[in-house]
Structure formats: C-alpha cells, structure tokens
Amino acid sequence: MKIRNILISGAAGFIGSHLCDKFLENSYHVIGVDNFLTGTPKNIEHLLEMENFEFIHHDITAPLELNSVDLILHFACPASPVDYLKFPLETMKVNSVGTLNMLEIAKKHDARYIFASTSEIYGDPTVHPQSESYWGNVNPIGPRSVYDEAKRFSEAISMSYFREQSLDMRIIRIFNTYGPRMKSNDGRVVPNFITQALNMENITVYGNGDQTRSFCYITDLIEGIFEIALTDNLKGEIMNLGNPEEYKIIDLAKIIIEKTSSESQIIYKSLPEDDPKQRCPDITKIKGLTGWQPKVSLKEGINLTIDYFKNK
C-alpha cells in the first residue's frame, strides 16, 4: 500500500509529537490534530514551519473533513492517571465519539488505521506477563474505568470496523513509556520521581513500592509504531508494544536517586485505588511479526530523560 498523507490525532502530546518527528524525518506528509487538552503547543512548535507538516487545532470528538489520508494514527486521549481522573468525561468521549470519527475518516478514505490502546486494558492482571490473548481483570466501575473501559470500547469498535467494514485496522497495546516531552507535572511515575529528585524533594512512592512496571524508552516505542504502520500484512492484528524489563517501583525510585545524585528521601503515600500490582508485556508476537524489540535499557533511558528535565 502506498502511504503519503498521515493523520496523527494527539499530535501535540508526548508520543504524538515524537511520531510527527519520525514520519516527517522519513519524508511523509503529516497532518497533526490536537485540542491541547493535555498536550502543549511547545511539543510541535519546531514543526510548524515545515512544508510537510500541517496542524489543525481541533477536538476530534467533532467531525473533521480532510482531502486525502492514507494512514491514521489515533493517539488523542489523556494518558496519565492524574490527567484522566481530572478529565474523566473527555477521556470517555475521545475514546467513543472521537474513535468513531477517526474510524469514519479511515473508512471514507480507505486508509490504514492504527489505534493506540494500552496495557491498562489488562487491568490488574492475574496472568503474568501479559500476552494479547489475555482478556484482563478490569474493575468496570472503579475510578480508572474511565480510561480502561473507554480504551476497551475503542478496541471493540475498531475491531468491529475491521470485521464489518474490512478496514485495515491494527491495535497497539502500549505499556508504560517515558522520555523527553513528558510534562514535569503529568503525574506519571518517571517524571514525578525525576522532578522530585532534581528539586531535592521527597520521592513519593505509592503503597510499599512492591508493585511492578516495565518501562519502554520513547525512541524504542516510536520505532515499533513505525514498523507496525508501514508493514503491509498486519490487518486486524492486536500487538503489545513495550519493554519487558520489569522493575519494582521502589527500585525505580532508588535508580533515579542514584542517577541524579540526589539527597531526596523516599516517603510512602497511599496506593491509588485499583493500581495494578504487576505489569509486563509479552512481546513475542510483535517480535515474530516485525522483528522489533526494544534496545534502550532503563538505566540508559533514565539518564537521557534526566538530561531532558535538567535542561528544561
């Protein structure tokens, strides 16, 4: 399939802006759409003068008319627990009405469509590591359900367009990703700990810190999405994307204290409701389909992210 024009929803966000960079570097024409709910114009200001970049300030829950689209990367949605708990209705709307609008554009233009899903659809998993065949363990009415269930709905409706409309649809389940352009106040663990450590503030570990996460550096994730977007035979595939190196949150805190040479102390705060106890992607499927695997270790990625926050 010949791909030239790419629509990226959530273009001014953390991942969306890196995706814009990647496709522009590879000479594609990128149409970025964002309403700046959780993203910032700063993330894309270096792109605005580029001939191949077009930006539309728009809320994708309203219809959007475009002349030509070959590929849609649907990434618009608050992603940090702090953000989606602050914007619960917006989160549910962008994953229902917003997703429907993106799917309709894909159908109209016969475009390839990629949905940014999440490891959160596995909830607090009872199967470890999580492979794509696991159905998850989600509280449908807890506070996090505004994100988890909304993403599950988006997956269901995207699958329906694949089954009923033969859309070239792919779902990527993204596991915790970090790196430059995350907001220092976005509430996710990596920017929180780095900002606290650099400011010599207490490091806030929620619960006893025994819960685990697996952290993927942004450049690895972008390479994986790029592969998935441009590989022809992935229609209808659901793929985990993340780094299977798994860490306890307490150990992440210690690594960040060491790497920043900080004198910050660790303090313990209450664990948010339904906070998953463990999370680690099984990436066998994506490796087999595309050969992709992450290259950046946590320690390397944390160093690069610390440099970013230091220079901000």
* Site residues for ligand UDP per CB under 6 A: 81, 176, 188-189, 192, 204-206, 211, 213, 249, 271-272, 275
Contact in structure between 194 and 306 (CB atoms under 8 Å): yes
Nearer to ligand UDP, 70 or 83 (CB): 83
Query: What is the nearest approach in angstroms of ligand NAD to the Cβ of residue 263?
Result: 29
Q: Which residues of 190-200 are buried (b: 16+ CB within 10 A; e: fewer)?
A: bbbbbbbbbee
The DSSP 8-state label assigned to residue 94 in this structure reads I
Nearer to ligand NAD, 146 or 205 (CB): 146
Contact in structure between 215 and 282 (CB atoms under 8 Å): no
* Identified catalytic residue from 84, 147, 161, 217: 147
Query: What is the nearest approach in angstroms of ligand NAD to the Cβ of residue 184?
Result: 13
Verify whether residue 122 is a known catalytic residue. no
Query: What is the nearest approach in angstroms of ligand UDP to the Cβ of residue 269?
Result: 7
Residues that bind ligand NAD (CB under 6 A): 9-10, 12-16, 33-39, 59-61, 75-79, 83, 94, 98, 116, 118, 174, 176-177
Cβ-based neighbours of 301, under 8 Å, separated by 6 or more: 178, 179, 215, 217
Give the one entry of ligand NAD, ligand UDP, none that residue 37 binds, where binding means its C-beta sits below a cut-off of 5 to 8 angstroms depending on kind: ligand NAD
Query: What is the nearest approach in angstroms of ligand UDP to the Cβ of residue 89?
Result: 19
What's the rounded Cα separation, in Å, for the pair 47 and 53? 7
Residue 100 zone, left/alpha/beta (φ > 0; ψ -120 to 50; rest):
alpha
Active site residues: 147
